[in-house]
Chain A
Amino acid sequence: MNVVEIESLKKSFEGRKVLENTFMTVQKGDIYGFLGPNGSGKTTTLRILLGILHPDGGRVNVMGLDPSMEGDRLRQRVNVLPESHGFYGWMWAEDYLRFFGQLYGLNLSAADCRMHMEQVGLDSADHRPIRTFSRGMKQRLGMARALVNDPEVLFLDEPTNGLDPKGRSEIHDLLLHLNREKGMTVVISTHILDDVERLCNRIGILYNANIQYEGPLFGASSRKAIRYRFRVAGEDRILGQRNLPGITVQEGTGNWFSCIIEDMKPEEAIKSLVQRGIPVTEAIQMGSGLEAMYLTYTGGERRP
């Protein structure tokens, strides 16, 4: 069952197309990694999914509801940790949680608030004005707020920002627990690929106003993939041959081209290319796993 469906989504800001015919599908129980470079439209997409930004066109469906028309009803059942989430510094942590609970129609007791705080690693002794909190503590409090209504779908924009390694690990454990024990669907927008590799079962890579890849993280093009750049004698001879077995050819410049090699050793790939009349004169390994995949789909390749 799909809990998030986007089809042909369009959104422009002052004539600049941020999203153009974008699609996205998140299934119930997924931990979905939403990747893309800065400014690629991830936050815009999340805002549209929550109904706080209206699309220019396309179809958006979250849990059977149209966020533009039924935003209030939708936000009752989902929650979000935005990337830039300020706090009311004069409020105390428990009061902050109680206030947001009231906005969801919940009357949280002091014990409920403490439970939410402890869930994200905040001590009950941390009940003091939020302006005195460190950045990491604020991030944890933001996470506690995002869980206050026990959402069915949780959207997280850079959830481990400002957290130390222990804090990150605790948030990972919490998200995995919520996903496995409560069946909570989680959509994580992040630049930290390690978070995605540790948590997500499916990913979408947004680039050039569209989803370039959507599918399982541990599918054919991730863990086992190695990204190489090859120099060949002669230009553009390989670019027309994209369906070589085990080798996915990407765009190249000059006589350099990049490709992803899967399920074979690099020397076997070079041998295979040479046998097809493509004389490889130099090879440079660029990376492996999700990073390689991400760089490939977002055009972030470094020059050799």
Chain B
Amino acid sequence: MRYVSPLIQKECVEDIFSSRGAVLYLVGCGILSVFSLLLVSNTELSLLDNAQAVYMMVGIVIGLAVLIAVIRGSDGFAGERERETLETLLTAPIDAEDAAMAKLAGIAFSWLIIFLLSVPYLWAVGSTGQNLWPAFEYLFLAGTLLVLIFGGFTLALSARIKTVKGVLSIGLLLFLVCGSPIVMGPSLRQSVIGRFMDVVNPFGVALNMLDSVVVDSQGILVQILPLAVLLCYTGAVLLFLHLATRRMGL
């Protein structure tokens, strides 16, 4: 791990200066703008409770962050392999696990940018209500863990699957299945499938935690169990990433 910091730096700089990174953030800002406008309009017309609007906005931010993590994770090794830069990188005195950690740090950096970009939008939606600060805190916490889970998982896949297209297909499918709680109504979430998804799906766990904090104003003690679940998923994904990058093929 001696010279891994320049690699982390490269991942972060690439995220901003490559055309791919800039486009992702522009699209992200566009999505956040549209949704915040809709939510502000709804709260102004008293069609939506302020806390509910903040919760929905937080869900959109998390969905966007995970989507970008999946895209970046898929591109991690498979993209470098396709652009023929992976071999040159691995001929330097670093190993694939160092490179994986640097790439995961790059994905986390993307999340940090998304989080910072989301701050004014969340402020616009929720500044007149309560629980905005807890929303920021738990959004950062849950978002970080979810980004590590989904980004790390797709990064591990990209260490083993040769093409970005192949990894991205699996990553997006996983994102759609796990992200379904966002589009599920409250009644659907009370069904057997909805309850099951809430328990095993890290996305559902994170959203329930945010619901509990933002809408129900519940404290930290209630959040220990969902946080533990998310941490377990994070640990499992990091282990999977470690195993996938060990003796990684070119």
Contact = CB atoms under 8 A, between A and B. Distances in A.
B41 interface: no
B87 A103 contact: no
A75 B14 contact: no
A90 B88 contact: no
B190 interface: no
B81 to A, nearest CB: 9
Contacts of B250: 47, 52-53
B91 A79 contact: yes
Contact of A80 (B5, B85, B91, B247): B91
Contacts of B83: 86
Interface size class of B (residues with CB under 8 A): 20 to 34
A139 B19 CA distance: 24
A75 B91 contact: yes
B84 A103 contact: no
A82 interface: yes
Interface string A131-158: 0000000000010010000000000000
Contacts of B93: 71-73, 75-76, 103-104
Interface string B13-52: 0100111000000000000000000000000000000000
Interface in A74-102: 75-76, 79-80, 82, 84-88, 90, 99-100, 102
A50 B18 CA distance: 30
Contacts of A73: 93
Interface in B70-108: 80, 83-85, 87-88, 90-95
A72 B95 contact: yes
A197 to B, nearest CB: 27
B92 A88 contact: no
A165 interface: no
B88 A71 contact: no
B94 A103 contact: yes
Given A86-B83, A90-B14, A72 B91 contact: no
A73 B92 CA distance: 10
B185 interface: no
B7 interface: yes
A300 interface: no
Contacts of B10: 88, 99
A54 B96 CA distance: 13
Given A54-B247, A99-B10, A103-B7, A82 B92 contact: no
Interface in B1-17: 2-3, 5-7, 10, 14, 17
A30 to B, nearest CB: 20
A104 B91 CA distance: 11
A70 to B, nearest CB: 10
A105 B5 CA distance: 10
Most buried by B among A88, A99, A103: A103
Contact of A86 (B88, B91, B94): B88
Contact of A90 (B2, B5, B18, B84): B18
A50 B91 contact: yes
B84 A104 contact: no
Contacts of B7: 103
A80 B83 CA distance: 18
Contacts of A104: 3, 92-93
- Across chains A and B, which 7 residue pairs bring their CB atoms closest together, nearest first? A86-B84, A102-B6, A103-B92, A86-B85, A75-B93, A76-B93, A84-B84
22 contacts: A47-B250, A52-B87, A52-B90, A71-B95, A72-B93, A73-B93, A75-B91, A75-B92, A82-B88, A85-B84, A85-B88, A86-B80, A86-B83, A86-B84, A86-B85, A86-B88, A90-B19, A99-B10, A102-B3, A102-B6, A103-B3, A104-B3
